């Protein structure tokens, strides 16, 4: 049996609904999936029901945007208590940060002569955790850019004129919230971050795992992170980071994590649960 522990729905910047994602995961031959929307768990309830209907296992998750040493990284939280009050409050706060950031990005676009409105982006986002991809989709939908990629390259990437910073949880705060809620945390897509030097600090701060298997990891990268996980005694996770259709071919099914790693993850979460 295989799992994909890194997936997004339209509760953040993915395009599939939970029901569509569960059905596609089943078709792709996955036996277990985690939902890891950005800074929200709002899709988890529907995802759990949809997975039950498809006969596949659902694992609670969230991709937290955090900062470590002044740089952004993503921490994947798993198997935590969805009802944990402190965790839910922190997510609400950072969803507000995301909404405010959309205002700032739109203001910058307006300053560049692009007549975009916040309401338009929010209509397209249709969720509480809007992000740059939603602004990009609005730019494409309204004919200001030909593709999402162009929107990022011209406006939205860090260093481009409509980019705006966003306040983030510190990695220590996020690890504390995830652990207090009985979960475990893994660094997402380490091979894309080029921040290996912070991994020992994160391990010291209690980080539990490393996303060794990932769509854009080469075989050499996967090997490198598997060795690092072994060296630091970390759990091994993996996922596709599917956000929906990707030029007609969803990433879903491209990463198949052997289920033994999921068992270890769940066992570790049970151990820390109070």
From 3, 9, 13, 58, residue interacting with Zn ion (rule: CB under 5 A): 13
Choose between 166 and 179: whose C-beta lies nearer to ligand AMP.
166
Q: At its nearest, how many Å lie between ligand AMP and the CB of residue 243?
A: 5
> Does 208 help bind Zn ion (rule: CB under 5 A)?
no
Choose between 139 and 203: whose C-beta lies nearer to ligand AMP.
139
Choose between 40 and 54: whose C-beta lies nearer to ligand AMP.
40
> Does 243 help bind ligand AMP (rule: CB under 6 A)?
yes
Burial (0-12, 13-18, 19+ Cβ within 10 Å), 233: exposed
- As a dihedral over the C-alpha atoms of residue 185, residue 189, residue 192, residue 194, rounded to 10 degrees, the angle is 30
Q: For 230-236, which contacts have Cβ atoms below 8 Å and span 24 or more sequence positions?
A: 232/199, 232/200, 232/203, 234/186, 234/203, 234/207, 234/208, 234/209, 234/210, 235/184, 235/186, 235/208, 235/209, 235/210, 235/261, 235/264, 235/265, 235/268, 236/209, 236/210, 236/212, 236/261, 236/264
User: What phi and psi values does residue 115 have, to the nearest 5 degrees?
Assistant: -80, 65
Choose between 151 and 203: whose C-beta lies nearer to ligand AMP.
151
Q: At its nearest, how many Å lie between ligand AMP and the CB of residue 195?
A: 16
64 binds, among Zn ion, Fe ion, ligand AMP, none (CB under 5 to 8 A by kind): none
> Does 211 help bind ligand AMP (rule: CB under 6 A)?
no
Which of the residues 24 through 43 are near ligand AMP (CB under 6 A)? Answer: 38
Choose between 186 and 269: whose C-beta lies nearer to Zn ion.
186
Q: At its nearest, how many Å lie between ligand AMP and the CB of residue 216?
A: 12
> Does 131 help bind ligand AMP (rule: CB under 6 A)?
yes
Give me the sheet containing 257-258, strands edge to edge.
57-59, 32-34, 2-4, 257-258
Choose between 154 and 232: whose C-beta lies nearer to ligand AMP.
154
Which run of H or E residues covers position 6? none
CA dist., res. 144 & res. 246, Å (int): 21
By the criterion CB under 5 A, which residues form the site for Fe ion? 63, 74, 188, 241
Site residues for ligand AMP per CB under 6 A: 13, 38, 131-133, 148-149, 152, 243
Site residues for Zn ion per CB under 5 A: 13
């Amino acid at each position: 049996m295989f799992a994909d522990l890194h997936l997004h729905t339209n509760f953040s910047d993915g395009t599939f609904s939970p029901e569509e994602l569960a059905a596609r995961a089943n078709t792709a031959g996955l036996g277990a999936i985690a939902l890891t929307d950005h800074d929200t768990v709002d899709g988890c309830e529907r995802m759990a029901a949809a997975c039950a209907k498809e006969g596949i296992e659902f694992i609670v998750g969230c991709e937290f945007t955090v900062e470590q040493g002044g740089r952004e990284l993503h921490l994947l939280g798993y198997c935590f208590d969805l009802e944990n009050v402190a965790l839910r409050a922190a997510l609400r706060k950072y969803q507000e940060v995301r909404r405010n950031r959309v205002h700032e990005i739109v203001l910058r676009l307006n300053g560049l002569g692009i007549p975009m409105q916040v309401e338009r982006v929010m209509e397209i986002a249709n969720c509480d955790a809007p992000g740059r991809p939603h602004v990009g989709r609005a730019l494409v939908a309204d004919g200001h850019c030909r593709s999402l990629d162009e929107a990022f390259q011209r406006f939205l990437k860090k260093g481009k004129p409509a980019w705006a910073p966003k306040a983030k949880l510190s990695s220590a705060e996020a690890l504390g919230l995830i652990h207090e809620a009985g979960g475990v945390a893994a660094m997402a897509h380490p091979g894309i971050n080029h921040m290996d030097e912070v991994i020992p600090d994160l391990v010291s701060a209690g980080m539990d795992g490393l996303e060794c298997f990932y769509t854009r990891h080469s075989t050499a990268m996967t090997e490198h992170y598997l060795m690092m996980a072994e060296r630091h005694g970390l759990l091994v996770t993996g996922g596709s980071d599917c956000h929906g259709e990707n030029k007609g071919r969803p990433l879903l099914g491209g990463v198949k994590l052997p289920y033994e790693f999921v068992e270890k993850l769940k066992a570790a979460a049970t151990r820390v649960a109070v």
